[in-house]
Chains A and B, each alone.
Chain A
Amino acid sequence: MATSEAYMRTPTQQAWRRFMRSSSGKAGLLIVGFFVLLALFAPLLAPYDATKDRNLRERLQPPSVEHVMGTDELGRDIFVRVIHGSRISLRVGVFAVAIAVLFGTILGLLAGYFGGKIDMFISWLIDIMLSFPSILLAIAIVAVIGPGISNAMIAVGIVQIPIYARLTRSVVLSIKEQDFVAAAEGLGASRSRIIFQHILPNGLSPLIVQGTLSIATAILDAAGLGFLGLGAQPPQPEWGLMISKGFLYFTRAPWISLFPGVAIMIAVLGFNLLGDGLRDALDPRTQR
């Protein structure tokens, strides 16, 4: 019987089973896995030093057998650069979300657990941050701390803090009311113990789902900053920056902008699919 089988499994195994049943989850895992492998092994596949790469004789070549994605305005092979771009974009996505999750969760825990004045103040901060469109806020942050890929990462991360703060706060509020927390409190467990041993693990599922989807957004936002010249700086093979450089040549050599855009799209698609799949797996109440 399926039910008794399910009963025998740990929650993780159940989730994994549900995940493997979701076709979007599998597709997402496949794409994300592909990009992770690409990022890890890019230096072995095609060793590359962006600071020395130029080949002025081969400038603006259309895609060919030799250069499958063509060459750019410095005669650099776009294929090689797109591959190495995966290292930058994945790193930015993961770290930006890590920043957001870290600070967002702390704020949300504080607000949700302690309530009162602390909650009011934190909610006020969150409301202020949410009064700006995210791209504008990111631009303003980069304007203050200066352009560059690490700063763009920080900016994109900060912009996402409110999402996690709100999420964590609502999770804490709902769990706080539940019996097992009250029991722990009654048994004299310390507050930090309650937060870290009881509340946090229970709120993990929505955080994981949201985190995966946020990586997708972070990659897109960082590419947007790169396009505006506020993110990665040349000669880094960052996808958004590559698209913006292609703008100057796009009537003549559209492939310069085309392929990095395709790469962004597929990578972001991968994280979105994976997020959908994880939601199916971890949050079975949601309807498909």
Chain B
Amino acid sequence: MTAYAIRRFLGLIPVLFGVSLLVFTFIHMIPGDPAVVMLGERATPESLEKLRKQLNLDKPLFFNLEAALETKNPAALFESQYFSFVGRVLHGDLGQSIFTKVDVATELRARFPATFELSLAAMLIALVVAIPAGIMAAVHKNSWLDLSVMTAALVGISMPIFWLGLLLIYLFAVNLHWLPPSGRLDVGLEFHPVTGFYVLDGLLTGNPEVTKSAIRHLILPALALGSIPTAVIARMMRGSMLEVLNQDYIRTARSKGLAERVVIWKHALRNAMLPVITVIGLMFGTLLTGAILTETIFNWPGIGKWLYDGIGARDYPIVQGGTLFIAIIYVVINALVDLSYGFFDPRIQYR
């Protein structure tokens, strides 16, 4: 098991290397150049050249053949934009935004908790709704309950998130005034965040008002973001439960006269959860990294919207550093999900 885990994680290294290569190639293929964007209308060729030099954009992208030939030193081959980026990343330096001069790491520290909190809330809603709904649908197969749960789930995966978000804002924020339309916290509240997770921070610093406000702000975006995981998990739960309920040992348990409740909640659920847990893990990875549309609509200060703006502005360090960060999170979560098979299902042997 440990050996497998180590191998699984070592396997991530070539993938992440490929990711860095892909991200780097991509962003430099985007037409436009941050130096031009920065200097704006009255840029002269000289000032552009100077700025490119200052931003390290004058070096070749991958291999510095010229420098290597000139200095007769093969190491100079790597005096390129890509390798200096990789070198900095290996030293833990993700660079700083070209335009705002803020460190990418600082932005990530400030924004990741926002994204994480939102994803967690969305997942929580999904679990609370989907798992009981899926189980009930499986147990009462082909009943009206099953039909309505499955219809609702299908509708859930068929709705565009951004549209659902707009509807929620229109209904609950603009018209009914029940919940705030955007942001993370009532602005008037004064407190000093500890972890960056506002719900938790409110409790830690003894500010129940902060926690309350943070939860109120979370509800609408979490509902929108959680719609798809809810639907997917409910479908998965139902399918998995049905499969288990058809198996011999459940029939045996039933024939032994165990109460249906015990059969379902004690014997069946345990085994039915296994594939569902996989899906939950994968979905969580997607939520953490793919909430661009939800963050845009709810003006949520997370990484998705920031990265999207970074791409538009050709802010190379933001896109390079931010995407790499996201990719790391994503592949690590996937690896953990893989490993969790062994944890939840001891029958699986890792070789």
Question: A: which residues have CB within 8 A of B?
Answer: 24, 124-125, 127-128, 131-136, 139-141, 143-144, 146, 216, 220, 223-224, 227-228, 240, 243-244, 246-247, 250-251, 254, 257-258, 260-261, 264-266, 268-269, 272-273, 276, 286-288
Contact of B160 among A240, A272, A273 (CB under 8 A): A240
Closest-CB distance, B245 to chain A (whole angstroms): 9
What is the bound-complex CA distance between A24 and B26, given in angstroms? 41
What is the bound-complex CA distance between A75 and B68, given in angstroms? 64
Chain B residues 286 to 336 lying within 8 A of chain A, measured CB to CB, are 286, 289-290, 292-293, 296, 304, 307-308, 311-312, 323, 326-327, 330-331
Contact of B311 among A125, A143, A265 (CB under 8 A): A143
What is the bound-complex CA distance between A216 and B155, given in angstroms? 12
Closest-CB distance, B302 to chain A (whole angstroms): 13
A261 touches B158 (CB 8 A): no
B154 touches A243 (CB 8 A): no
Contact of A128 among B15, B289, B292 (CB under 8 A): B15
What residues of chain A lie closer than 8 Å to B110, measured between beta carbons?
A: none
What residues of chain B lie closer than 8 Å to A257, measured between beta carbons?
A: 163, 166
Report the interface size for chain B: residues with CB under 8 A from the other chain: 47
What residues of chain B lie closer than 8 Å to A272, measured between beta carbons?
A: 154, 157-158
Stretch from B16-24, B72-80, B187-195 contacting the other chain = B16-24
Closest-CB distance, B147 to chain A (whole angstroms): 9
Contact of B166 among A243, A269, A288 (CB under 8 A): A243
A216 touches B290 (CB 8 A): no
Contact of A136 among B16, B27, B242, B307 (CB under 8 A): B307
- B34 an interface residue at 8 Å Cβ cutoff? no
- B29 an interface residue at 8 Å Cβ cutoff? yes
Given contacts A127-B15, A140-B311, A243-B162, contact A132 B327 (CB under 8 A): yes
Given contacts A136-B292, A227-B293, contact A144 B308 (CB under 8 A): no
Closest-CB distance, A181 to chain B (whole angstroms): 26
What residues of chain B lie closer than 8 Å to A240, measured between beta carbons?
A: 160, 162
- B167 an interface residue at 8 Å Cβ cutoff? yes
Given contacts A243-B162, A261-B167, contact A132 B323 (CB under 8 A): yes
What residues of chain A lie closer than 8 Å to B31, measured between beta carbons?
A: 144, 146
What residues of chain B lie closer than 8 Å to A144, measured between beta carbons?
A: 26, 29-31
What residues of chain B lie closer than 8 Å to A288, measured between beta carbons?
A: 242
What residues of chain B lie closer than 8 Å to A140, measured between beta carbons?
A: 23, 26-27, 311, 323
A251 touches B174 (CB 8 A): yes
B288 and chain A: residue at smallest CB distance: A133
What is the bound-complex CA distance between A134 and B327, given in angstroms? 11
What residues of chain B lie closer than 8 Å to A244, measured between beta carbons?
A: 162
B157 and chain A: residue at smallest CB distance: A272
A273 and chain B: residue at smallest CB distance: B154
Contact of A269 among B26, B29, B158 (CB under 8 A): B158
Told that A265-B158, A265-B159 touch, could you supply 7 new A-B pairs with CB distance under 8 A? A144-B26, A224-B160, A243-B166, A251-B174, A260-B163, A264-B158, A265-B155
Most chain B CB inside 10 Å of its own CB: which residue of A124, A133, A244, A261? A133
What residues of chain A lie closer than 8 Å to B19, measured between beta carbons?
A: 128, 131-132
What is the bound-complex CA distance between A223 and B161, given in angstroms? 10
A131 touches B330 (CB 8 A): yes
Query: Can you name 20 A-B residue pairings with CB atoms under 8 Å?
Result: A24-B154, A132-B19, A132-B326, A133-B330, A136-B292, A143-B311, A220-B158, A224-B160, A224-B162, A240-B162, A243-B160, A243-B162, A246-B166, A251-B170, A261-B159, A261-B166, A264-B159, A268-B158, A268-B159, A269-B154
